Chains A and B, each alone.
Chain A
Amino acid sequence: MIQLTCSRLSSYRIVTVTCPWGRALLLLLLTGGLSVQAQGIDQTHKKIESAQQSMPLLPTSELPAQAVESSMSTAKQKPNFFNKTVNWFRTKELPGDLQIHGFASQGYITTSDNDVFGNSDNGGSFGLTEAGLNVSVRPLPKLQLSAQVLSRRAGKGNSGMPRLDYAILDYQLYSYDANQYGIRIGRLKNPFGFYNETRDVAHTRPSILLPQSIYFDRTRNLGLSGDSVQLYGETAIGNLGTFSTQFGVWWPIVSDRDTEVSLIAPGPSGHLKREASYIGRGIFETNDKRLRLGISGIWLNTSYDPQGAIDPIRAGSLQFTPIYFSAQYNAERWSITSEYALRHFKYGHTFGDTMLLNKADFFGESYYVQGEYRFTPKWEAFIRYDVLYTDRSDRSGKEFAAEMLAQHKLEIAPHSRFAKDITVGLRWNVTPEFMLRAEYHRVNGTGWLSRLDNTPAEGPTSQHWDLYAIQASYRF
């Protein structure tokens, strides 16, 4: 009851405080201003180029034609050491077809209330930094080795400490025409949904924050990659398209604070143990890649190891078996994407039931619908509606809150059990390598907020809140 009044009060507060709107407007103006400036630079470049191209038409008897040509080519190539190095990598024949790629992104996030990746509701935060570097090599025609190191600084859940993201041995066992079958061993990215495997690479995402209902950032280390053996295959289905699949056994990475707090309870002193789990995905794509349909499933097993006899949380096990349906349609100018997830949680051995802040067996439900539009190859916009219900049989969270209050004298905000997020955003591909973007989220509920970044000590969370983000990203 107290919680309810609190959240209602804070929702009134949002209406009266206009400061975040002003801040967002400022951010958008800033990016807009930058873009105008850069376009100006582009135009002057073009003017110089066109002036040079018209030069040979003038009577330049004293000037050898070759000299004109060489001056043109140096004007086109920017005398930039970094670009030269990258270009050298791209064009140089390296032994064993060695390739090196990487990315780096910096985001700025500000919220009206609640914290996302740092103290974002108090002046904004540069708390989201992502960088990665990968190497791949093909020593034999059918053998590829690849590895990526990733650093992610995002709130209290990710310190920026570099970690081994993937290290894969990939051998193609059979290849005929468009049919390919093979095996991958090592630390693999988990194949689920359309975006999970490359979720840290800004260029491959539709937005700064992926739809959180499906791609939770707070349990990301669990979902991102694991030690795994997977079989994969791709086969042509007549002239309709291709069906590709990958599946295997994996040992998830659960030794991560944010994951433990999200899955069990605040402040567990023991740790989650990894157990053999299973994952698989199938994607059908038409030959023109216009229609893409996917289904993925995870069978995750983990158990809790209490810290001796004093741990208030007893031994327990968790079975998490979500299923994901994905669909996308791509036209030249626009794309529509939608994904739906039904997430089954089953807790066993009760964790000494008093501390467990979840029911023993329940289904979560999530979906989003997203439209993207490409005005030009450089400018894109998107709009998305994203919904999460922690428990689909209690969408408002009120039953859960009442139960917690009655049984454990714990006050839980009902709005922490769902989140509905409307997002609009703009993306500007300045060059093929460099990208800027901005987005605005209007969120009702705190279902996917990180509990590490929003501890009870910082006061209650707000049900209705706004999030503004801008991001710059470079990849090569």
Chain B
Amino acid sequence: MIPTFLRYFSFSIKVLICCLLSASLSFINTDTWASDQYDIVIYPGVGEKEISLNSLRSIFSMRQKTWPDGAKIRVFVLADDDELHQSVSKEILNVFPYQLRSMWDRLVFSGTGQAPIKVNSIDEMLVKVASTPGAIGYLWRAKINDTVNVLQIK
């Protein structure tokens, strides 16, 4: 019984790798569309103009805790089921919202990190990112004004 199981297991690994490859191919051209609708925004005092995608992922995973100048990063997010949150996580960060949630839960309940700060609306997001030193968040383009800076993805 066990060898059959192992054979099945190695087969499923192969299937998984195939799935993974096709999935990564299908995600190639989503970024360009995404930036037409919304942007990553930061507190104006943060000196950064652009950021690598890896670094952005690390920030929203709550792993990277400081900006390159050593200042604290403070991450703001909308609710898991919010449309903008879903777009940003799927299209820019390339992860499903439930995966972000489980990453944050692991950090919070193992004591190895903190959760992002939740805001209840787009308007609150704008106010918080504009007024909190080191803040990073996201906004619909139509809502962005000169109280926040847009962070370009390299």
Q: How far is the CA of A332 from the CA of B71 in the complex (A)?
A: 35
Contact B115 A168 (CB under 8 A): no
A338 to B10, CA, bound (A): 12
Q: Let me know if A131 is at the binding interface, CB within 8 A.
A: no
Provide the residues of chain B in CB contact with A327, threshold 8 Å.
13
- Residue of B19, B66, B102 near A329 (CB, 8 A) is B19
Establish whether residues A180 and B96, one from each chain, have CB atoms under 8 Å apart when the complex forms. Answer: no
Determine the distance from Cα of A136 to Cα of B68 in the docked complex, in whole angstroms.
23
For window 173-197 of A, CB contacts with B under 8 Å fall at 175-178, 180, 184, 188-189, 197
B34 at interface by CB-CB < 8 Å: no
B119 and A91 contacting across the interface, CB-CB below 8 Å: yes
> Is the beta-carbon distance between A178 and B112 smaller than 8 angstroms?
no
Interface centre among A147, A167, A377 (most CB of B within 10 A): A377
B141 contacts partner chain A, Cβ-Cβ < 8 Å: no
Q: Which residue in A142, A198, A242, A377 is a CB contact (below 8 Å) of B65?
A: A142
What is the interface size of chain A, counting residues whose CB is below 8 A from a CB of the partner?
Answer: 59
Residues in B neighbouring A321, C-beta threshold 8 A: none
Distance of A286 Cα from B66 Cα, bound (Å): 23
Q: Is the CB of A377 within 8 A of B54?
A: no
Chain A contact residues: helix, strand, loop or mixed: strand
Residue A251 CB within 8 A of the other chain: no
Interface contact B113-A144, CB-CB below 8 Å: yes
Known pairs A204-B102, A289-B95; A148 contacts B65 (CB<8 A): no
Q: Does B19 contact A97, Cβ atoms closer than 8 Å?
A: no
In the complex, A134 has a CB within 8 A of chain B: yes
Are A234 and B63 within 8 A (Cβ)?
yes
B55: interface (CB < 8 Å): yes
User: Which residues from chain A contact B113 at a C-beta distance below 8 Å?
Assistant: 144
Asked if B52 contacts A146 (CB within 8 A), the reply is no
Query: Interface centre among B27, B65, B81, by most A CB within 10 Å?
Result: B65
**Which of B95, B124, B132 has the most C-beta atoms of chain A within 10 angstroms of its own C-beta?**
B95
CA A203 to CA B68, docked complex, whole Å: 34
Partner of A287, one of B57, B109, B111: B57
**Set B16, B54, B57, B108: member contacting A291, Cβ < 8 A:** B16
Question: When chains A and B are docked, how far (Å) is the Cα of A336 from the Cα of B74?
Answer: 33
Q: Interface size of B by Cβ–Cβ distance < 8 Å?
A: 50
User: Do B110 and A166 have beta carbons less than 8 Å apart?
Assistant: yes
Chain B residue with the shortest CB-CB distance to A143:
B65
Complexed CA–CA distance, A87 and B103 (Å): 21
Chain A residues, Cβ within 8 Å of B37: none
Asked whether, in the complex, the Cβ of B111 is within 8 Å of the Cβ of A166, the reply is: yes
Are A432 and B114 interface neighbours, CB within 8 A? no
A197 touches B110 (CB 8 A): yes
Within 8 A of B (CB), among A68-107: 87, 90-91, 93, 97, 99, 101, 103
Does A398 sit at the interface, judged by CB under 8 A? no
Separation of A178 and B62 alpha carbons in the complex (Å): 11
Q: Contact partner of A177 among B55, B98, B115, CB < 8 A?
A: B55
Q: Is A282 an interface residue (CB 8 A)?
A: no
Instruction: Evaluate whether A288 and B13 lie within 8 angstroms (CB atoms) in the complex, with A90-B118, A147-B111 already known.
Output: no
The answer to whether the Cβ of A64 comes within 8 Å of any Cβ in the partner chain is: no
Contact of B106 among A175, A197, A338 (CB under 8 A): A197
B4 CB to closest chain A CB (Å) equals 13
With known contacts A136-B114, A287-B94, A97–B72 Cβ distance under 8 A: yes
Contact residues of A with B, CB < 8 Å?
A: 87, 90-91, 93, 97, 99, 101, 103, 132, 134, 136, 138, 141-142, 144, 146-148, 166-168, 170, 172, 175-178, 180, 184, 188-189, 197-198, 200-201, 203-204, 232, 234, 236, 239, 242, 286-291, 327, 329-332, 336, 338, 369, 374, 377, 432
What 5 A-B pairs are tightest by C-beta distance, nearest first? A197-B110, A178-B54, A146-B111, A178-B58, A141-B72
